Amino acid sequence: TKPAVTHNTYHTMTTAARLVSFFYLLLLIPFAINIGGASANAEINAMNSAGNDGLTWPDKDLVGMTGDEARAAVLAGVSTLSASKIEILPEDAMVTMDFVQDRVRIFVSDDGKVARQPHLG
């Protein structure tokens, strides 16, 4: 005789896997905040400051700049990057740990200044 089926194990496991995946994705969604928006003055200042010491990003230290100045310095330093791939985030933002070759994350403190040196990835 066949044993009585009391529940659908396949359906239960699929639902549990879906829930785990859903909550996992919620934890990994980066909370991108563009502080202040793009500023033409910030771009000009970053380009001028890049020429003053002869260094451009990634060799130039961007810590202490505003997020927009740092974005402009990154774009000036690596011309192949797209502005849409440069993210300005709060320094305590949760982000994914995947490596994206053409992405730069700029982490800023509460006052909008770069908290740590940005890098590709």
Q: Where are the alpha helices (H) located in 1-121, listed in sequence order?
A: 9-28, 40-52, 67-77
Could you identify the residue written with the tokens 């239960």? 12
Q: Bridge partners of 88?
A: 106
Could you identify the residue written with the tokens 């919620």? 26
Could you identify the residue written with the tokens 């400051």? 49
One pLDDT digit (tens) per residue for the chain, 121 residues? 666 655 555 555 566 666 666 665 555 544 444 444 444 455 545 555 444 567 888 888 999 999 999 999 999 988 888 889 999 999 999 999 999 989 999 999 999 999 999 999 8
**What are the tokens at 81?**
């990057």
Q: Are the C-beta atoms of residues 79 and 86 closer than 8 Å to each other?
A: no
Query: pTM for this one?
Result: 0.57
Contacts of 2 (CB under 8 A, 6+ apart): none
